[in-house]
A = this chain, B = another copy of it.
Amino acid sequence: MVTLSDVAKEANVSKMTVSRAINHPEQVTPELLALVEKAMAKLDYHPNSIARALVNNRTNVIKFVTLEDIDTTEPYYMNLLFGVARGLKADSYAIQLVTDIDQIQKGNADGYIITGAREYNYPIFNELKKPFIFFGETSSNFDFVDTDNRYGTSVATKYALERGYQDAVFIGIDVKEGFEYAREYGYLASMQERNLEPKIFRTGNHSHLAEKLIDEQIENIKPNTCFICASDRLAIGVCRALSRLNKKLPEDYGVIGFDGVFLDQVSNPQLTTVKQQIFKMGDMLAQLILEKIKQSGSAQGQTYVKPELVVRGTTK
């Protein structure tokens, strides 16, 4: 292994000059700098990040904690994770995946990115000695990054009505979570703005449940209505039911999903959806936690990332 000393010898300077050439080149005269760079190139020197980590009291590891019972097959988290990896790349940080809550404290890390946190988990976080940041809104004053859910369904609802659908119905997920409330709120507000009566149905987040729901409720729903769905899964179920009932998409009815990860691509017809910028949010999480580490824990605030309406085959 080529070390700092080897380079120093090769360049006939001290270790410190080499170290400075790497970390604070402005403090080194151009001549020496050139010498050092030449020596580094010749010996193919790569700094040992471990030794560096030791003196800096850093581990160069971020723990990526997934607390809820995540279906790890969800492409959603893959995007987030690759976004995080992207954000960590420049600083060559590594990620430690933690799914087990009692693994949080095991081993070392410089910081935590936490997804799926619930209220009753909060005590744990307060014990953490290193900075952390959440993915997903929290009720406490913690730093987080989340999708602007209200904005998403609001844009979707307005778009549907502008495109000539007479009514908009919300198909929601039957959970008591902030993201669902926010999505419903965005829909509600947009309906009220237009003096339309909102109509919300809820069911579990599975396509076949949504399918069943439409079967049961189709008679209570006016023609030329657009379904604003809280997820792509639900939207796909709605499409399937409508297609089976011989309704024409996008003429007779419209369908708009939410998420825009993977599922929207494999459906047929292709789904109009509110696409979350998950990769970007992953990247932001990484940048924010790195910043927080550098600033030894100072708050990074709460960030909402606007999703984007992607118009495809299921709306006029």
User: Interface on A for B, CB 8 Å cutoff?
Assistant: 1, 46, 48-51, 53-54, 57-59, 61, 72-75, 77-79, 81-82, 85, 89, 92-97, 99-100, 103, 105-108, 207-208, 211, 233, 236, 240, 261-263, 266, 268, 279
Residue in B46, B50, B85 whose beta carbon sits within 8 Å of that of A53 in the complex: B50
Q: Tell whether, in the assembled complex, residue B108 and residue A208 are in contact, meaning their CB atoms are under 8 Å apart.
A: no
How many Å lie between the Cα of A208 and that of B57 in the bound state?
53
Question: A61 contacts which chain B residues (CB < 8 A)?
Answer: 61, 94
Residue in B48, B51, B89, B108 whose beta carbon sits within 8 Å of that of A48 in the complex: B108
Q: Tell whether, in the assembled complex, residue A96 and residue B103 are in contact, meaning their CB atoms are under 8 Å apart.
A: no
- A–B pairs, 9, beta carbons within 8 Å: A46-B105, A50-B50, A50-B53, A51-B54, A72-B78, A72-B279, A93-B96, A94-B96, A207-B268
Question: A99 contacts which chain B residues (CB < 8 A)?
Answer: 82, 85
Question: A94 contacts which chain B residues (CB < 8 A)?
Answer: 61, 94-96
Residue of B nearest to A279 (CB): B72
Integer count of this chain's copies in the complex: 2
Q: Tell whether, in the assembled complex, residue A261 and residue B95 are in contact, meaning their CB atoms are under 8 Å apart.
A: no
Q: Tell whether, in the assembled complex, residue A50 and residue B46 are in contact, meaning their CB atoms are under 8 Å apart.
A: no
How many Å lie between the Cα of A208 and that of B266 in the bound state?
8
How many Å lie between the Cα of A285 and that of B173 in the bound state?
37
How many Å lie between the Cα of A108 and that of B1 in the bound state?
11
Shortest A12–chain B CB gap in Å is: 27
Residue of B nearest to A91 (CB): B107
Shortest A40–chain B CB gap in Å is: 14
Given the contacts A75-B74, A95-B97, A103-B89, A266 and B263 also touching, CB distance less than 8 Å: yes
